[in-house]
Amino acid sequence: MPIELRPVVESDVRDFITWRYEPPYDGYSITGNEAELVEYFLSGKVGCHALLENSELIGFCTFGSDAQVPGGDYFQNRLDIGLGIRPALTGQGNGRDFVAAVIEFALQQELPLRVTIAGINERAIKVWEANGFRQTQNFEAESEVMGTRRFGVYERD
Ligand SMILES: CC(C)(COP(=O)(O)OP(=O)(O)OC[C@H]1O[C@@H](n2cnc3c(N)ncnc32)[C@H](O)[C@@H]1OP(=O)(O)O)[C@@H](O)C(=O)NCCC(=O)NCCS
């Protein structure tokens, strides 16, 4: 089944903010006030999109500053990407396809792509590298973000 992307609607956000990842990925679970999160992810500046397979919500992604971690060097004009797949669908060897669908969509923006990944998240690093991303930075976040401080920046033309 092909994976489609479209801008999120409120029901998507109310769904994905309940997703909970198991350690060591639990930092990627979204927490906070529900009403504020809904407003945040629906606001255009986050560029939040739903990933759909067979019309079912299987993940979401964001574009722009939401996908940056304070402490990294984001001076160069790139399209930053954040991604979360429904927890029950993770760890089954489909990561490469999820990421490829997001890349295909993001390339429409005609900007080089960039992703920031926690150093502990070897699973994510593998799938982005498998899709042609290469590490360009390794930095310490200004404060703890998602329960960790060490991050890498990966880029692809
Ligand atoms: C990151 C994410 C997209 C990866 O998708 P996935 O479907 O879970 O990934 P896969 O099951 O295909 O695993 C990817 C690779 O990591 C490997 N892997 C899994 N767990 C691992 C671990 N603990 N250490 C090292 N490698 C690991 C797999 O074996 C696989 O390698 P292969 O391609 O050589 O077979 C998904 O897990 C996710 O959304 N996670 C939560 C949010 C997140 O981490 N976002 C990343 C920020 S961009």
Q: In this predicted model, what pLDDT tens digit does every residue of 72-98 receive, in sequence order?
A: 999 999 999 999 999 999 999 999 999
In a domain, 126, yes or no: no
Burial letters 129-156, b for 16+ CB under 10 A, else e: eebebeeeeebebeeebbeebebbbbbb
Q: What is the mean pLDDT of residues 56-79?
A: 97
Residue 151 is assigned to a structural domain of this protein: no
Read off the pLDDT of residues 98-150 as tens digits, 9 standing for 90 and up: 999 999 999 999 999 999 999 999 999 999 999 999 999 999 999 999 989 99
Residue with tokens 């590298």: 129
The answer to whether the CB of 112 is under 6 A from ligand 1 is no
Domain-embedded: residue 131: no
In a domain, 135, yes or no: no
Number of domains in the chain: 1
Residue 106: CATH number of its domain? 3.40.630.30
Compute the distance from residue 84 Cα to the ligand 1 centre, in Å.
11
Name residue 152's amino acid. G
| Exposure letters 60-89 (e unless 16+ CB within 10 A, then b) | bbbbeebbbbebbebeeebbbbbbbbbbee
CA of 22 from ligand 1 middle (Å) equals 13
121 ligand 1 Cβ < 6 A: yes
State whether the beta carbon of 148 lies less than 6 angstroms from ligand 1.
no
CA dihedral (75, 154, 134, 132) positive or negative: negative
Cα 103 to ligand 1 centroid, rounded to whole Å = 16
Residue 75 domain flag = yes
- Cα-to-centroid distance, 94 and ligand 1 (Å): 8
SS3 89: helix
- Number of neighbouring beta carbons within 10 Å of residue 99: 25
Read off the pTM: 0.96
Domain that holds residue 91: 4-111
